[in-house]
Structures are given as C-alpha cells and as structure tokens.
Amino acid sequence: MRRSMSVEARRKTDRIDRGNEDFMRMIVLIAIAGLILAGVGVSMAAESDGRFVQDRFAIGFWVDPPADQITDARYKEIADAGFTFVLGAFGPKTESDVKKQLALCKKYGMTAIVRDLTNSKNLPNTPECWGYYIVDEPGAGAIPSIKTRIEELRKLRPGKLAYFNLNPDYAPLSVLGTSSYDEYIKRFAEETTCDVLCMDYYPMLTPTADGRDGYCGNLDVMRKYALQQNIPFWNFFNTMPFGPHNDPTESHLRWQIYASLAYGAKGVLYFCYWTPRSPEFPKGGAIITAEGHKTRHYEQAKRINKAIGNLGPTLMQLTSIDVIRIKPGEDSTEALKGTPIKSISDGDYLVGVFKHSDGRRAVLLCNYDANYGMWPTVKFDLPDDKVVEVDQSNGKEKIVMDDSPDTPGLQLSLDSGEGRLFLLPATRI
C-alpha cells in the first residue's frame, strides 16, 4: 500500500512512525527509570529499617577460643568442623583481637557476632561481621534497655544483628520476670522487635532422667512467636558434661539438632566449643578442652555439621506448618492427617511439616529415640517416584530410595536421633 502513496504522504507517514518510535522509547525509558527508582526505594527502605536478614543457616557455639588462640590454625579448625559462624562473646579482649577474629572468619568463609569492645561508632562493619553480642539470659526487666540498644544499632549499623540469648523454661519465674515462660518469650519477641529469637535448653538424657519432651516444649514456644513475628529462631543444646548432665553421645547431639530442625529452627549452637575454665566444668568435655585439645565431640560435630550444612540452603526456604509427635502404639494415620505422610509403621517419631518457598510441601521425619535406630515403613500421599529427598551428603535432591526393597512398602532407615528431609509437589492425591 505504501508504494502507491505520494512523496509528501510518505514523508508525513514516516514522521508519524518516527514519532511513535520516539514515544515508545520514552515510555520504555520511563518504565526502566521507574523500576530503578523503585529498587532504590526498596533498598533505601531496607537500609532505613536497618533490620538484620539471615541469609544462611547458622551453625555456631558458645565459648570461642581465648584471645591467645585467635590464630589461623584454630579458625581453620573451626571451619573444618562445619561451623558457619563464630559467636565471639568470650575470646577477644581488645579491638585488635576482634579485627583479627573477623579477618580469620573471612578467610575461612565464616561470619562472626562480635563483642562490643569499642565506642559504638567504631563497631566493625564488614560483611563477615554478622552483628554484635548484647546480653545472655536477661530477665523481662531488661526489655527496655535491649530494645533501645537494638534501635541504636539499626541506625549505626543497618543490617547487622543485635544478638541476645534467652533463658530456658526451667529457669525460675523470678529470673524470667514474668508469670509464665510463654509470656517471657512473647514479650521479648514483641517488645524488643528483635530480628532473631534465641534460647538455650540442655535436656537431661540419662537412663533415669529424660528431658526430651521438655526440650520440645521449649522449642514449640520459640516456634510460635518466631512465626508470629516472621523472624527466625536459634537455640543452644548441650554438648558437654556439667552438673547433673551426662556427657552426650553422638546420637544425643544428633537428636537435639534434628528436633530443633523439626520445629523450624534456622540456627543451632553447641554448648560449648572451647571448654571454660570453671569449677562448674571440671571434666573438660566440650568440643575442645581448656588446654586446646580435640575431644571425641570434634569429629562428631564435624560429621553432623556436614549433614546439616548440606540441608541448610533448603531449610532456609522452609516455613513451619506443623509439628507432630507420634508415640509408639498410636494411630499414625489419624495423627498425620493433612500432612505429606499418610501413615508410618509403629515407632517413636517427630514429624516437622513445612511449606517450601517455591510452593512445594516438605516433611522432616525424625527418629525420636536418641539411643536406637528405626526402620519405619512410610506411605506418602503421592507415588514414591514423586517424592524427593535432600541428600545430606551433598545437598542435592534425589528420588526417595527404598532402604529395604525386599520388604513390602517403602522402608526408610533412621539412625538414633536422626532426621531425613523430603520434598513433595504442592498437590496431594
């Protein structure tokens, strides 16, 4: 059609086309500019908000190496054991020690929560500095001062964590400063506006004292208020003999960690790494002795941390939906109704139910027995070839494998205290 137009008509049409092209380019540029400004606005809002956002699963500990042991060899030792961050509440004694600690964490791919040994304006602000230690086991009376410090640090060091650790539920109410443990956690979660909830609980795991249910009850309170505030929670667990506590076996360590994961914890911390010199800890049985020697717990922690570290990226994508305890002799079908598992053979289990950020469903099946292995027969609500497991040896997803093909049904092997993580499509049958 254009070939039959006059020269003037073609020129007029060309001007219109060029005008349309210019207009479209302007619209695109405006749109791009809008996106850029929106991004800047989000960034500025995040910076002005100043809140810490956890970007990796946390594997840490209480009692870092002393000041004279802030060395390359010691921090390589920590990293080799699979720890992802150092809580520097004990070792550094000077600003120089803190800088050295951060430099070694950076070298070995870890982060650190450091002691505030300087004027606040001189607090370290490097990427490997995850935040700053405030206080351990405060009562509710400390809430106003903790809130003030959190607000100060958000302004001074946006994006860094103002870290504190809370009491367990067996602390006396006079220490908690509230009428119940639920109120204690609720007040700290809501009133301090903290970015991470953290507590310690050291269950008795002896033939005559079983603290597993109490441990899980404490985790349940943490889970409730972490979900309510949309923040992660971490917890300390016992690694050493002290007072009436026995020296945990590897399966005891494993049970404490996987139970925490079943409740949705985004961080686990060993008590302790370096053995404190104190009459309270005469047996010297932490991961490293007071003299600097590895105990059997070092290799145990290394094995467990490797597995948890490989699960970490997936765990960080999960939101807790439910936690179910199945006791021996109970009807698992009824207890598991609405979860990705239809039924499980008789045994003692803890089941964490989650939603993945990509919409998939997830379930962490844990052996609740800290001393003996289990071989449950599990029926998922989808065919087995639709179920994947996160491989703890490498973090990759793989189709679930029958651990005993000659036995009817899907058999899964669970070591004492162990958990296994499965992912299923969003739609069930």
Q: Concatenated DSSP letters for 83-148? A: --EEEESSS--SHHHHHHHHHHHHHTT-EEEE---S-GGG---STTEEEEEEEES--GGGHHHHHH
Q: Are 84 and 301 in contact (CB under 8 A)?
A: no
**Which pLDDT belongs to residue 84?**
98
- Residue 174 inside a domain? The answer is yes
Q: Concatenated DSSP letters for 242-287? A: BTTB----HHHHHHHHHHHHHTT-SEEEEE-SBPP-STT-TT--SS
Mean pLDDT of 397-417: 97
Residues 141, 181: one domain? Answer: yes
Residues 325, 283: one domain? Answer: no
Residues 329, 290: one domain? Answer: no
* Lowest model confidence (mean pLDDT) among 3-12, 80-89, 149-158: 3-12
For the chain, how many structural domains are there in total?
3
Q: Are 83 and 59 in contact (CB under 8 A)?
A: yes
**Cα 357–Cα 384–Cα 341 angle in degrees, nearest 5:** 65
- Residue 51 inside a domain? The answer is no
Closest C-alpha to 224, from 184, 257, 255, 192: 184
Residues 268, 360: one domain? Answer: no
From 316, 349, 381, the end of a domain falls on: 316
Residues 335, 389: one domain? Answer: yes
The CATH number for 82's domain is 3.20.20.80
Q: What confidence tens digit (pLDDT) does each residue in 197-218 have?
A: 999 999 999 989 999 999 999 9
Query: Residue 149 pLDDT more than 70?
Result: yes
- Residue 49 inside a domain? The answer is no
- Residue-averaged pLDDT of the chain: 90
Mean pLDDT of 350-360: 98
φ, ψ at 206 (rounded to 5°)? -125, 165
Residues 102, 217: one domain? Answer: yes
**Which pLDDT belongs to residue 1?**
33
**Which pLDDT belongs to residue 429?**
60
Cis bond before residue 129 (omega within 30° of 0): no
Residues 62, 183: one domain? Answer: yes
Residues 340, 411: one domain? Answer: yes
Residues 10, 65: one domain? Answer: no
- Residue 333 inside a domain? The answer is yes
Domain that holds residue 401: 319-424
Residues 240, 386: one domain? Answer: no
Query: Residue 48 pLDDT more than 90?
Result: no
From 296, 316, 336, the end of a domain falls on: 316
Residues 99, 233: one domain? Answer: yes
Helix (H, G, I), strand (E, B) or coil at 43: helix
- Residue 47 inside a domain? The answer is no
Q: What confidence tens digit (pLDDT) does each residue in 151-172 have?
A: 999 999 999 999 999 999 999 9
**Which pLDDT belongs to residue 119?**
67
From 288, 316, 344, the end of a domain falls on: 316
- Residue 70 inside a domain? The answer is yes
Pairing of strands 129-136, 111-114: parallel
117 band by pLDDT with thresholds 50, 70 and 90:
confident
Residues 220, 338: one domain? Answer: no
